[in-house]
């Protein structure tokens, strides 16, 4: 009789233990789900990093360090239309540290530069090059550095200490920050250095007097 009574008691105890274990597992799973939901709600969403951007910008470039004859001082007002293609995604980390995490772009830029002060009146051309954007989780402000090379056409005036010929080469270097207003629209503020010269191609018929200009630029853009 004892064995027959002990068997049901053992089964009841085993069932109770299994029930408690299942309840604890279910409670722990529910806690993890709620925690993950809370974490998702706390983490800010990424801002406006799409494959293409298109932006229109302007600013002022100065080369007063070249004042005096025959190297004229310049004041230039650039107008730029830029299309940029995103080349890679933001990695979770960077081999040199989290501060450098980000992504790369390649930009194509058409320029019209009005010369407010200087022997020429204007130059216009095309510039292409890479840009690197520094991205941190949840940031809508994206610092960047960029560089580019290209060519321009100018109404050269070498007799007055200006450019040696109409066809000129150019390169730029810039840095600043982009602010994503929304997922679609952004504003970019930066500082740019530009060099314009013909690499001595006009010499000795006409002297080569390059332009070295530095100044701020502001642009507004659309991501798509």
Which tens digit of pLDDT belongs to each residue from 176-199? 999 999 989 999 999 999 999 998
Span 9-19, mean pLDDT? 49
* Per-residue pLDDT, 93: 58
Q: How confident is the model at residue 98 (pLDDT cuts 50, 70, 90)?
A: confident
Do residues 66 and 74 make contact, with C-beta atoms less than 8 angstroms apart?
A: yes
pLDDT tens digits for range 46-80 = 555 689 999 999 999 998 655 455 667 899 999 99
Instruction: With beta carbons less than 8 A apart as the criterion, state whether 124 and 87 touch.
Output: no
Residues 20 and 128 reside in one and the same domain: no
* 103: nearest Cα among 49, 58, 25: 49
Considering the domain architecture, whether residues 92 and 124 belong to the same structural domain is answered as yes
pLDDT value for 51? 93
Query: pLDDT of 107-164, one tens digit each?
Result: 999 999 999 999 999 999 999 999 999 988 888 899 999 999 999 999 999 888 889 9
Residues 132 and 58 in one domain: yes
Judgement on whether residues 13 and 87 belong to the same structural domain of the protein = no
Phi first, then psi, for residue 210 (nearest 5°) are: -70, 165
Query: What global pTM score does this model have?
Result: 0.76
Query: Exposed e or buried b for every residue in 142-156, given b needs 16+ CB within 10 A?
Result: bbbebebebebebeb
Number of domains in the chain: 2
Cis, bond preceding 204 (omega within 30 deg of 0): yes
- Which domain covers residue 13, as residue numbers? 1-43
Write out the two tokens for 72: 């004229």
φ and ψ at residue 9, rounded to 5 degrees? -65, -40
Are 124 and 171 members of one domain? yes
Average pLDDT of the residues in 11-36: 46
Query: Quick one: 133 and 214 in the same domain?
Result: yes
Distance, CA of 224 to CA of 222 (rounded, Å): 7
Give yes or no: residues 79 and 133 share one domain.
Answer: yes
Q: Which residues contact 15 (CB under 8 A, 6 or more apart)?
A: none
My answer on whether 62 and 166 are in the same domain is yes
Q: Which of 43, 61, 76 is the last residue of a domain?
A: 43
Are the C-beta atoms of residues 152 and 120 closer than 8 Å to each other? no
């Amino acid at each position: 009789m004892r064995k027959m009574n002990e068997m049901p008691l053992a089964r009841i105890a085993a069932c109770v233990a299994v029930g408690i274990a299942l309840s604890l597992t279910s409670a722990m799973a529910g806690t993890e789900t709620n925690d993950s939901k809370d974490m998702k709600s706390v983490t800010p969403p990424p801002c406006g990093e799409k494959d293409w951007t298109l932006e229109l910008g302007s600013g002022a470039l100065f080369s007063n360090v070249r004042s005096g004859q025959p190297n004229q001082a310049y004041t230039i007002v650039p107008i730029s239309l830029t299309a940029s293609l995103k080349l890679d995604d933001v990695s979770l980390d960077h081999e040199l540290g989290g501060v450098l995490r980000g992504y790369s772009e390649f930009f194509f830029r058409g320029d019209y530069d009005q010369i407010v002060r200087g022997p020429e009146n204007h130059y216009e051309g095309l510039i292409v090059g890479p840009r690197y954007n520094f991205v941190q989780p949840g940031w809508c402000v994206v610092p960047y550095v960029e560089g580019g090379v290209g060519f321009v056409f100018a109404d050269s005036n070498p007799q007055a200490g200006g450019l040696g010929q109409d066809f000129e080469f150019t390169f730029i270097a810039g840095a600043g920050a982009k602010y994503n207003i929304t997922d679609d629209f952004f504003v970019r503020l930066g500082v740019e250095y530009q060099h314009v010269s013909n690499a001595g191609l006009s010499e000795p018929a006409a002297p080569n007097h390059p332009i070295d200009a530095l100044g701020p630029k502001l642009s507004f853009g659309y991501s798509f």
